[in-house]
Structure 1
């Protein structure tokens, strides 16, 4: 009776309840899966973003993010996983440790050089990453920017320094195009002032400077 009351008290007090997520894997990218309709972010690891580019020792660029996503899909796509929730992130995703075939997925990905130990949140895979680096496995055989730094760099130029002048004057192969808040490509467009791109306060100001409005 005491145990029942204690359990009931925990529920009514809003105590967090973690549960297993079990099901077939659909790979989103190197550290994110869809399992049984639930978006799962692997705990303690950080893989390159899908569009991230790395550099070989010879100085050539290659699509390392897409390569990692493809490799992880080959390894785990369609396989049955059991994940134990650790937390929820700011996007509402379940952050979890997952096992497939009895092996820790995060540990394997870091050990094979397909992801990095995300030391900000966990030191669980610190030695696995060091072993991969020493042996030049996977990403460690090339020059790769830390995924967190890459995301921070991409975010630069996306947030208007003055909220009253939030129109983005972008320069692309299509010419000078300005994006209004709410348009399709507004959020992902970054402004690089050193390339001649500009922030505008009004559409009229942008047109007067030679920019045309984005179609969508």
Structure 2
């Protein structure tokens, strides 16, 4: 039995019906909203612009320096205050001054570069700082002259185990010492997790 073959009838192309006025207005509105969101995103990202400073460092204490006109608080660490006293072998000693001396030694007269985008309540840049290839934030904790303050917990554990720096005796946490000596309200930790939280708050801040 043979079948006869016949071509399928071609369908004629029919253009889509014109969009209604309301549909066109909705499309325009969505386009405007999308552009507005992109502009808002660009404005928000400007708030996270990394600032950099470099040059000869003036060492203020064990966790803060000045580079030119930029005051910098080293991010993620907390060193004894310059006037703070700690205790070792039954005697007091000026651990705050020794913490500053430690940072001076780590810098070793080399130029320092710091970068960051956050600022503390005093307006200082919260910076990650280097002198040559030396990560000053990390090295200060490893040397035992600063405690972890949001980062560098592993380095603190090593310094504590080796009884380095302030871990060779007893001391008040710098935060507690500031609180007991009438300094400003408690400072928030500023490590990696705190930075993420700050970034979220900054992104949704409408000022």
TM range (shorter): 0.5 to 0.7
Paired position in structure 2 for 1:143? 170
Identify the structure with the greater strand proportion.
1
Q: Which has the higher contact order (CA 8 A, sep 6+)?
A: 2
Cα separation, partners in 2 of 1:10 and 1:73, compared to 1, 3 Å: same
Equivalent residues, number:
148
Q: Is 1:68 paired with 2:95?
A: no
Secondary structure at 2:84 match in 1: coil
Task: Decide which structure has greater helix share.
Answer: 2
Q: Which residue of 2 aligns with 1:153?
A: 180
- The structure with the larger Rg is 2
Structure 1 unaligned spans of 5+: 1-5, 159-216
Q: CA RMSD in A?
A: 2.5
Q: Residues 12 and 59 (structure 1 numbering): CA distance in 2 closer, same or farther, change over 3 Å?
A: closer
Q: Distance in 2 between matches of 1:73 and 1:49?
A: 15
1:82 aligned residue: 113
Any gaps of 5 or more consecutive residues in structure 2?
Answer: 1-37, 185-207
Question: C-alpha displacement at 1:67, in angstroms?
Answer: 1.4
Matched with 1:35 is 67
Equivalent runs, 1:37-116 vs 2, <5 Å: 37-56=69-88, 58-76=89-107, 78-116=109-147
**1:24 counterpart residue number:** 56
